[in-house]
Amino acid sequence: MKVGIIGASGYTGFELLRILLRHPEVEVTVLTAERFAGKGIEEVFPPLKGLPLPPFEPLEVERMAERADLFFTALPHGTSMEVVKALFERGKKVVDLSADFRLRDPSLYERWYGPHRCPELLKEAVYGLPEVHRERIRGASLVANPGCYPTGAILALMPLASEGLLPEEGVVIDAKSGVSGTGRAPSQGTHFCEVAEAIRAYNVRGHRHSPEMDQELSSLQGRRVRVNFTPHLVPMNRGILSTIYVPLEKELKEGDLYELYRTTYSEEPFIRLCEPGRVPSTSEVRGTNFCDIGLVLKGRSAVVISAIDNLTKGASGQAVQNMNLMLGLVETLGLEDLSLFP
């Protein structure tokens, strides 16, 4: 199978390349990158020096659509939708890593991101969290790859939501992310010296990933859920730890809680439950497509902690997992890497 990567010069682009270049069933035939068009691979991605790669070209859908069967679009929000539409109309399968097709309600999209110019395509898009929507992803031509924070949060809460155990309000999601989640473009806030030896919250009043969590959790729960989400920036490259506090209305035993999670996830290749008494660290999933989950019951409050690599399960790894499903391949193909530790 031939695949292309649109907007390949960022960290999610690199992570796609890292996975796809070793994937046994696909070949990368198209790479685009405006900022780096015409530059050599050693300049764009020094770690790939010497590898035979297609050149980085400027984006021109017409010219490149022929050359691949499936495209990953890793463009900024707002820029992605029209490229996706053009590819879709040419019968290409697309995994879109932007937020453009994640929210089913275009007015909600508009509130957080700006006007949606291709709302007619929203009904074609499947939210690409395989643990929730696997069957629909298999049949989809357009998959909206989830945000990094929503991936960690929804996977941590799905068993509770599926049982209707989430309160409408009051679920606190305190998430801590490595800096690669903000992308590769430099900014004052991601300058090394402003990040090292510091931790801070950001977008406390509201973050674009909240409505995504609400949408999926409400759908799983069967009624409206509004989470209280606060992201933080941690001085590390990769990883998201989500510490989630769920006030339980029903009395529950920790054993039952574990049983619920075990049952829900017994067949999932990328979900790992920690042994009772243990909680996950981001270092245990570095470079892998795993989502590790730990559970503690404190009185009437469940503390659920999940760890993912924001660039793998939180972005490019999950995108490849979605590709595998869409192309009828084994779901875990190309995603068997073990964690780089330390």
The total number of residues shown for the chain amounts to 342
Stretch that binds a copy of itself, among 62-70, 72-80, 88-96, 233-241 (CB under 8 A): 233-241
Looking at the Cβ atoms of 58 and 235, the one nearer to a copy of itself is 235
What Å distances lie between residue 243 and 124, 192, 225, 303, 308, CA to CA?
33, 25, 18, 7, 12
110 touches a copy of itself by CB under 8 A: no
Stretch that binds a copy of itself, among 61-69, 256-264, 278-286, 319-327 (CB under 8 A): 278-286
Q: How many CA atoms lie within 13 A of 313 on its CB side?
A: 35
User: Beta strands 301-308 and 291-298: pairing type?
Assistant: antiparallel
Alpha-carbon span 311 to 56, nearest angstrom: 21
Contact residue for a copy of itself among 165, 217, 234, 315 (CB under 8 A) = 234
Binding mask 123-152 for a copy of itself (x = CB under 8 A): ------------------------------
Binding mask 162-181 for a copy of itself (x = CB under 8 A): -------xx-x-x-x-xxx-
Give me the least distance between CB of 122 and a copy of itself, in Å please: 27
51: left (phi over 0), alpha (psi -120 to 50) or beta: beta
Tokens describing residue 264: 């829900």
Q: How many CB atoms lie within 10 A of CB 76?
A: 13
Whether 118 is catalytic: no
Give me the least distance between CB of 123 and a copy of itself, in Å please: 31
Contact residue for a copy of itself among 274, 308, 315, 326 (CB under 8 A) = 274
192 touches a copy of itself by CB under 8 A: yes
263 touches a copy of itself by CB under 8 A: no
Tokens describing residue 88: 């879709």
Residues labelled catalytic: 148
